[in-house]
Amino acid sequence: MKLSLSGTGISLSQRSVSFASAAVLAIGLSAATGCASKNYVRSQTTPLIDQTNDLDARTAADHRAIGDTDARAQQGIASAQSAADTAGQHANAAGEAATAAGQNAQDAYNRVDTLAGVVANLDNYKPVSDVSVTFAFDKAVLTPADKKQLDDFAAALDSTRGYLLEVTGGTDSIGDAQYNYQLSQRRADAVVNYLATKYNVPPHKFYLIGIGKDQQIATDKTSAGRAKNRRVEVKLMTNMGQPATPSSTSSGAQ
């Protein structure tokens, strides 16, 4: 059946078609708008998500790198400490060995009161040469000048047979007597160690006599006299091809 509205010129069928078309268009526009909004959001958020993921990956990589670096650093520190400990142990062992060797050599020296008590036929020994080196106050260290004097003195050792070395140490009178005795002993040891080490003089050739401050060679009332008393005297004596003579160096030693 076809209905018509008077005065309008439009039939019901035509109006129905018009409403239907408008509805379809509205739905289409709504769908298109929705799709466009989703695409826009997706286009805006995708780069942000990608950047966030990239930052997360870089952060994780940085953490791994830091962890690896720290582990290598700790390993390096541990290795360095171990090497230092080993070197320290070797140094201590070497120092102990040197001390023991020095002590053994020192124990081999003849520490006596007089040569006459230990050397047979002492009257057959004759002094060949002598040297005296002095030390600074409260010191037992050889200076370059002292070493030069000892070098000049030792030049005759190779050409001298059947010799012995009489070594006498001394101090000035300032200070405790026992301390000065020990100080004069250290001074004599410094001379003996120098000659023994540099010129390979056997320890049994040395006779350290009367070390102390009991007999002095100068007055202690002046600085010059005290300096002379802070000395070590070394006498080279031999019994080879020498006529028997009374010994004048074995008594009154210091």
Classify residue 243: in a domain, yes or no: no
**What is the mean pLDDT of the segment spanning 30-49?**
66
pTM of the model: 0.52
49 and 94 co-located in one domain: yes
Domain limits for position 218? 110-238
How many C-alpha atoms does 191 have within 13 Å on its Cβ side? 33
33 and 146 co-located in one domain: no
234 and 117 co-located in one domain: yes
CATH number at residue 140: 3.30.1330.60
pLDDT tens-place string over residues 204-249: 899 987 666 666 667 666 767 777 777 899 999 998 764 444 443 3
Classify residue 44: in a domain, yes or no: yes
Cβ of 68: how many Cβ atoms within 10 Å? 10
Given 108, 126, 149, which residue is the final one in a domain? 108
Given 73, 108, 143, which residue is the final one in a domain? 108
| Closest to 253 (Cα-Cα) out of 167, 128, 193, 153 | 167
What region, left, alpha or beta, does residue 167 occupy, with left being phi > 0 and alpha being psi -120 to 50 degrees?
Answer: beta
Classify residue 143: in a domain, yes or no: yes
Classify residue 208: in a domain, yes or no: yes
**What is the mean pLDDT of the segment spanning 192-207?**
93
20 and 38 co-located in one domain: yes
Classify residue 4: in a domain, yes or no: no
181 and 75 co-located in one domain: no
pLDDT of residue 64: 80
55 and 74 co-located in one domain: yes
Classify residue 154: in a domain, yes or no: yes
Classify residue 99: in a domain, yes or no: yes
**Could you give the CA distance from residue 191 to residue 199 in angstroms, rounded to a whole number?**
12
What total number of domains does the chain contain? 2
Classify residue 249: in a domain, yes or no: no
Cβ of 129: how many Cβ atoms within 10 Å? 16
**What is the mean pLDDT of the segment spanning 143-166?**
93
